[in-house]
Structure 1
Amino acid sequence: MEPNHYNVLIVGAGIAGSALAHALSTITSHSRSEPLRICLLERSLAEPDRIVGELLQPGGVMALKRLGMQECLTNIDAVPVHGYCIIKSGETVQIPYPDRREGRSFHHGRFIQALRAKAKRANGVDVVEASASELIECEHSHRVIGVRATKKGAEEKESFWADLVVIADGCFSNFRNAVMGSAARKTSTKSQFVGAILEDARLPIHQHGTVALVKGFGPVLMYQIGEHDTRILIDVKQPLPSDLKKHILTNIVPELPSALHIPIQNALEKDRLRRMPNSFLPPVEQGGRHSKEGVILLGDAWNMRHPLTGGGMTVALNDVVILSQLLCEVQNFGRWDQVSDVLHRWHWARKPLSSTINILSVALYDLFGADDEELAVLQRGCFKYFERGGDCVRGPVSLLSGIAPSPMLLANHFFSVAFYSIWVMFTHPQPVSSAPSDPQKIHYAVARMDEYPALLLKSLRVFWTACVVFGPLLWSEIRWW
């Protein structure tokens, strides 16, 4: 075999690419006399510096263990995560992971470097620092047979050949449209996360991710990523304010716990604010006639969800677990009919987990970033639903954490929240007016009987809003492309 010819070529040494390289290196079969030759191409092997991809849910920790890569969470100053804390209008509700499950939070770059080091030590894996610029196609069949890439420090492009090419180059993929052709979906972006690192900040509940619901604006997410570092992600809807720091200090900081005000102000003075689009990209089936032969999309290059729930890495690692197991059955990666069969089975085998997290991420964002009256009712009902405890907490957090992959369970809890929100609207005190002497002081009152007809009409609008939020998301996951 030629030096630059491999069984599998992976473009992108991020979460999905590095994990797949290691997973495929463990594949053995009675008919294969030698290990797979795998090439992992990465534009830069320097430690990446990103503001997302820093929270791994318990389901992702489980997937990492199944891949035999759990050691990648050691010696990177990772912090155990035991659940969430939600703050709204000064009220706090704790949402612990069930059965003492744990997630991990960390600096993204340190975790990536640990995954790359693990892949590099795997049998048959070559890690090459090179920037891939184009796919190589067979002149006759148009099947992808490799990529052209430029190694670091070189001027001329070099050809890398493979029986199977996997593209895992992230959310800003350069090859998504080339692989999917007319079947490619466009990403949709509702907002951006603006991020900074807080030094020695104290969150309301230790080792719990914190979600603060700021009235009139998007949610704020905070979690500890090191002994002294806490990540803050502030959701800012488009179009972005011209002065982000002023927006944060004026509109966001006053709504957060007072213990966080000084660390945030210090971070705004010392650290540059960084932005990341919050994009949604539903998965489209690959293989057969759905996509170009000889190449697979993986990770954020193919499927994205809102990062509010921190489920992206969990989905990616679970995808690698399932795909690598199915590829064990393929004796010749050059046989596209066999690979296509694997891709079809993989597409639907991943659905329980990926669909649950994809739908939940956007649905929760719509509720937590409520920008109309009906969504505000659902947001308040969701908060009150969590306050009930028991299965009203255990079920949703099991879905969010990747422990209970079930779109049907998600639908059950989502519409339970919708009906409970309507009940709360009728039976709980609602804000009615501000005191003339103190605009910050809100008066609350329970609905009167004469208000019931209007509330009944409003309840229909609330339920319809819930259907409008959940229905299209579910359809985007089950539709046959």
Structure 2
Amino acid sequence: MVTSHYDALVVGAGVAGSALAHALATIISPSRAKPLRIALVERSLSEPDRIVGELLQPGGVAALEELGMRSCLDNIGAIPVRGYCVLHKGKQVHIPYPHKREGRSFHHGRFIMALREKVSRAPGVDVIEATVTDLIECPHTGRIVGVRTSRKGAEEKDELLAGMVFIADGCFSNFRSAVLGDAGVKPTTRSHFIGAILEDVQLPIDKHGTVALVQGSGPVLLYQIEEHDTRILIDIKSPVPADLKSHILSKIVPELPSSLHIPIHNALDKDRLRRMPNSFLPSAEQGGHQTKEGVILVGDAWNMRHPLTGGGMTVALSDVVKLSNLLCSVKDFGDWDEVSHVLHVWHWSRKPLSSTINILSVALYDLFGAEDENLDVLRIGCFKYFERGGRCVNDPVSLLSGIAESPVLLFLHFFAVAFYSIWVMFTHPRPIPPPEDSGATDKPLYARPGVDEYPGLVLKSFNVFWTACVVFGPLVWSEIRWW
């Protein structure tokens, strides 16, 4: 058995882990006479193949630049993303990023390999290919002092010891419960993204992500990840149908633009369908007496949101920026009292951005994946709210993209959507069933509600507003409560 000593260990060389290792290696602080020695441990250093983590919002690009890793977006075939196009019942609304800001979309694996290449050149960083089997705990204090690793082909395990261990092993973290104990909660999964790659398709608006709202199902996302490749992600609610292909072809494809039908059929015939759970995990405060000393969770191992808004990497990179800046003042990672104070400050300083993106992701999913009558009113109202343009578009997309960090602004627009949805319900034409003796018709009939319907609509208005509160309230509570 080989024992090695470092200042810090980072478990997991994904987005959060690679960025954190690079940030720690480049810390410049009067409190440290020399660079930190860091071990970045990853189970497999081969290029990962995933269907998520392919869209980096403008806020994430800014965080990457602040970390000195902006070059990782070069030479990987990344595509500029300038906003969104939302499709609903044959109509579309354009939602551009404000101030000509841009995000990037790409093959996830290429981006990860670029991050790993960047961090491998950072001073004092050892990138180690090994599986972390367990955490090493001090028998006297209970503090985590390192990890045990198993290398492929090796008979004995190695020990890596450090003043601080950072766990960034992703959404399926093996160590989440060991670190958080009773303070943690389990991720909740209500749906899955089914992914495939479409070849040589033209999206409704070039260089824009497309969100198609499908009646009776979750939303469908499309964004270009290379010159010839476009990712499609189809939200399927649990339980996932046994025959996914038939379900997609019969229930989803007819609701999408006709230009996508043949590419989707070709993709389903050519490739296997990939599946990823869409999970939500509120962030428990770390550093208190309920969590383990000497170890910190980062990235999806600690905090997840619905991937509908593509905000996961933006939150992770922003977390790394804030945490690494705070750790500059820590002279000794072994001083847990000082580290605990830093973790407390970090937990609440990250809230303006992380809470905004977390709440918005789930709230939008509930609206866009509407399954009951009241949520359907909110979904229609949300689409028409975007059609108004101006601040009705600029503010929400600034929140979604990580440009603006304001849960209060999110609150104002969410309930503005709720009240506008109620107004739309009273004033806009809606489809009505044709008379029974009129015969079949291809076009639905539309009419505004009559005055005689107002009493019923007033009652329904209270139900719609209450539904909005039920969607928004628990999400806010999950972000502000003390664990």
Superposition TM-score, scaled by structure 2 size: 0.98
Contact 1:434 1:441 in 2 (8 A): no
| Aligned-residue CA RMSD (Å) | 1.1
Q: Does residue 428 in structure 1 map to residue 424 in structure 2?
A: no
1:3 & 1:137 partners in 2: Cα distance?
15
The amino acid that maps onto 1:454 is G
Q: Residue 284 of structure 2: SS of its match in structure 1?
A: coil
Contact 1:50 1:109 in 2 (8 A): yes
Deviation at residue 153 of structure 1 after TM alignment: 2.7
CA deviation map 1:451-481 (0-9, x unaligned): 0000000000000000000000000001111
The amino acid that maps onto 2:173 is S
CA deviation map 1:253-288 (0-9, x unaligned): 111011111110000000100000000000000002
Identical residues among aligned pairs (%) = 71
2:434 & 2:390 partners in 1: Cα distance?
35
How do residues 227-238 of structure 1 correspond to structure 2 at under 5 angstroms? Answer: 227-238=227-238
CA deviation map 1:306-326 (0-9, x unaligned): 000000000000000000000
How do residues 307-456 of structure 1 correspond to structure 2 at under 5 angstroms? Answer: 307-434=307-434, 437-438=439-440, 441-456=443-458
Q: Residue 4 of structure 1: SS of its match in structure 2?
A: strand
Deviation at residue 138 of structure 1 after TM alignment: 0.4
Count of residues in correspondence between the two structures:
480
Q: Residue 441 of structure 1: SS of its match in structure 2?
A: coil
Q: Residue 80 of structure 1: SS of its match in structure 2?
A: strand
* Aligned residue number for residue 106 of structure 1: 106
1:442 & 1:218 partners in 2: Cα distance?
23
How do residues 194-233 of structure 1 correspond to structure 2 at under 5 angstroms? Answer: 194-233=194-233
* Aligned residue number for residue 479 of structure 1: 481
1:185 & 1:82 partners in 2: Cα distance?
36
1:256 & 1:397 partners in 2: Cα distance?
23
Contact 1:204 1:210 in 2 (8 A): yes
* Aligned residue number for residue 276 of structure 1: 276
Distance 1:240 1:407, change over 3 A: same
1:286 & 1:346 partners in 2: Cα distance?
10
2:282 & 2:149 partners in 1: Cα distance?
29
Contact 1:434 1:440 in 2 (8 A): no
Which segment drifts farther, 440-449 or 134-143?
440-449
Deviation at residue 439 of structure 1 after TM alignment: 6.0
Distance 1:434 1:301, change over 3 A: farther
Contact 2:31 2:329 in 1 (8 A): no
Deviation at residue 443 of structure 1 after TM alignment: 1.4
Contact 1:288 1:337 in 2 (8 A): no
* Aligned residue number for residue 95 of structure 2: 95
How do residues 84-233 of structure 1 correspond to structure 2 at under 5 angstroms? Answer: 84-233=84-233
Deviation at residue 184 of structure 1 after TM alignment: 1.3
1:454 & 1:166 partners in 2: Cα distance?
56
Unaligned 5+ residue runs, structure 1? none
2:387 & 2:242 partners in 1: Cα distance?
37
* Aligned residue number for residue 34 of structure 1: 34
Deviation at residue 3 of structure 1 after TM alignment: 6.6
Deviation at residue 94 of structure 1 after TM alignment: 0.5
Deviation at residue 155 of structure 1 after TM alignment: 2.7
Contact 2:3 2:158 in 1 (8 A): no
2:4 & 2:116 partners in 1: Cα distance?
20
Superposition TM-score, scaled by structure 1 size: 0.99
The amino acid that maps onto 2:451 is M
1:321 & 1:3 partners in 2: Cα distance?
30
Deviation at residue 441 of structure 1 after TM alignment: 2.9
2:255 & 2:304 partners in 1: Cα distance?
30
Which segment drifts farther, 470-479 or 29-38?
29-38
* Aligned residue number for residue 293 of structure 2: 293
* Aligned residue number for residue 461 of structure 1: 463
CA deviation map 1:8-51 (0-9, x unaligned): 00000000000000001111333432210000000000000000
How do residues 37-56 of structure 1 correspond to structure 2 at under 5 angstroms? Answer: 37-56=37-56
The amino acid that maps onto 1:216 is G
2:187 & 2:32 partners in 1: Cα distance?
40
Q: Residue 287 of structure 1: SS of its match in structure 2?
A: coil
Q: Residue 395 of structure 1: SS of its match in structure 2?
A: helix
2:476 & 2:441 partners in 1: Cα distance?
41
Q: Does residue 303 in structure 1 map to residue 303 in structure 2?
A: yes
Deviation at residue 154 of structure 1 after TM alignment: 1.7
Deviation at residue 353 of structure 1 after TM alignment: 0.2
Distance 1:159 1:440, change over 3 A: farther
2:122 & 2:452 partners in 1: Cα distance?
71
Q: Residue 218 of structure 2: SS of its match in structure 1?
A: coil
1:152 & 1:97 partners in 2: Cα distance?
46
1:215 & 1:89 partners in 2: Cα distance?
8
Deviation at residue 157 of structure 1 after TM alignment: 1.2
How do residues 56-67 of structure 1 correspond to structure 2 at under 5 angstroms? Answer: 56-67=56-67
Contact 2:21 2:119 in 1 (8 A): yes
Which segment drifts farther, 301-310 or 20-29?
20-29
